[in-house]
Structure 1
Amino acid sequence: MTATLAAVLWDMDGTLIDSEPIWIAQQFVLAEQHGATWSTEQGLALVGADMHDTARAMQAVGVDLDSVELVATLERAVIDSLRETVLWRPGARELLSALRQRGIPCAIATTSSHEMAELVASAAPDGAISVVVGSEDVTRTKPSPEPYLRAAELLGVRIEQCVAVEDSPNGLASAVASGAATVAVPNDAVLPEAGAFTTWPTLAGRTVADLAALLG
């Protein structure tokens, strides 16, 4: 018997929105400003990582900023870009609308800032995303399960009745450890071939029933 779907918990960058290219582009800009060398491969390796891991990686190649300033500079540049346009991943906005129509709440659980997640939530179909958990809202970010557990807590639902949607190895580890049924939707990051999750090539064409079936 399939359990009742209480909520859907979404990763943001690369899952809901196509923001990873923006992050990597801004990493290149920051590296160039400091006379450092950066590569697309280095950027892709940081998909789903804690922002302070990104800071350490960029400092290691010669970006002469402390971690707090480096993270703030990168995030401000990405936020400014998202204020102009939010590029949704295929099927994401449609699935959010369908969940809203069925009265199933959604949350964002992200390693990016609360401010950035709120911006994306406000661009989603009206009322579709009711809870946001950003990096500063938890004591441990992904791959810790805390972001997903916190999102479920704020929604007032049991994590075992939630589906989490992810696109990165750290995110998958976080979601699986939380106890949520987990679906991987590959994007830029290289994901494990197998694990305690289901892989969908895309969200396009997926339905609320497909999400609920993951709890079976």
Structure 2
Amino acid sequence: MDGTIVDTEPYWMDAETEMFASFGIEWTHDDARQVVGMGLWESADLFRRRGVDLEPDEIVYGLTDRVRARLVADGLPWRPGARELLQALREASVPTALVTMSVRSMAEDVARAIPFEAFDVIVAGDEVADPKPHPEPYLAAAERLGVDIADCVAIEDSPAGVTSAAASGAVALGVPNIVDLSGTAHDALWATLAGRTPADLAELLASTRTARERTRAAREGEVSA
């Protein structure tokens, strides 16, 4: 969600900077980049180690409230092509899940603000035992959709998200925003979603399946030899 569908990462960074400043601590842009895509409670533990004297829940829900207020004040800052692709997927009756490490209340805010029924399922950060980069969030989404995870394409903008998607068995499509994804376990990298269609995703899914089958066959051949 954050950074892939809507460009809310700057809102999170501003909220983090304000929180640290309230304790007289500097929080730089590079610091903020390190927690992009992390689970909120894992981020809160890091913030506490850096000197934020608040309980984890206070940190998580305090930051969330700040970002939700920005969404109300400024509206949804769509990432290029995200709304158009999502709407085209829905028109093509493709099941969709929102898999975010934001809490459900914020995920629902975003989903409600989209002017069409965008998602069949929401998996939020306060609903999973193991957040991204663990595969649980994507496995949970596939299970709730009633589909095989191998038939899913996961679109991600963070290293933690790409790692989660790849580990789950989904096709991991990276669309970089604030953080470089070149060293991640992605199946593909697209510079933008602008101009992309469901057909492009179907082609990516098919080509990735073929590549995986060839890799599997080669490995089995090596073992047999």
Counterpart residue identity of residue 22, structure 1: Y
Q: Which runs of 5+ in 1 are unaligned?
A: 1-11
Counterpart AA for 2:181:
L
Aligned to 1:151: 141
43, 50, 64: which one aligns with 1:54 = 43
SS of 2:205's equivalent in the other structure is coil
Does the CA contact (< 8 Å) of 2:162 and 2:185 recur in 1?
no
Alignment of 1:1-216 (within 5 A): 12-84=1-73, 85-193=75-183, 195-216=185-206
Work out whether residues 183 and 200 of structure 1, in 8 Å CA contact, stay in contact via their aligned partners in 2.
yes
Report the CA distance between 1:194 and its aligned residue.
5.8
Aligned residues: 205
TM-align CA RMSD: 1.3
Q: Deviations over 1:63-113 (max 9, x none)?
A: 211111111101111111112311110000000110111111211111110
Percent identity between the two aligned chains: 46
For residues 35-86 of structure 1, what are the alpha-carbon distances to aligned partners after superposition, in whole Å with 9 as ceiling and x for unaligned? 1221111001110111123212322332211111111101111111112311
The list of structure 1 runs, each at least 4 consecutive aligned residues, that deviate by more than 6 angstroms after superposition, is none
Q: Quote the Cα distance in structure 1 between the aligned partners of 2:72 and 2:86.
A: 20
SS at match of 1:214: helix
* CA shift digits 1:150-175 (9 cap, x unpaired): 11111111111111000111100100
Cα distance between partner residues in 2 of 1:102 and 1:201: 24
How far has the Cα of 1:149 moved from its partner? 0.8
Q: Following the alignment from structure 1 to structure 2, what is the Cα–Cα distance between the partners of residues 146 and 115?
A: 20
- 2:163–2:184 contact (8 Å) kept in structure 1: no
Kept after mapping to 2: 8 A contact 1:48/1:111 = yes
Change (3 A) 1:125 1:95: farther
Query: Structure 2: where are the runs of 5+ without partners?
Result: 207-225
Give TM-score, length-normalised by structure 1.
Answer: 0.91
TM-score (normalised: structure 2): 0.87
- Larger RCO: Structure 1 or Structure 2 (Cα < 8 Å, ≥ 6 residues apart)? 1
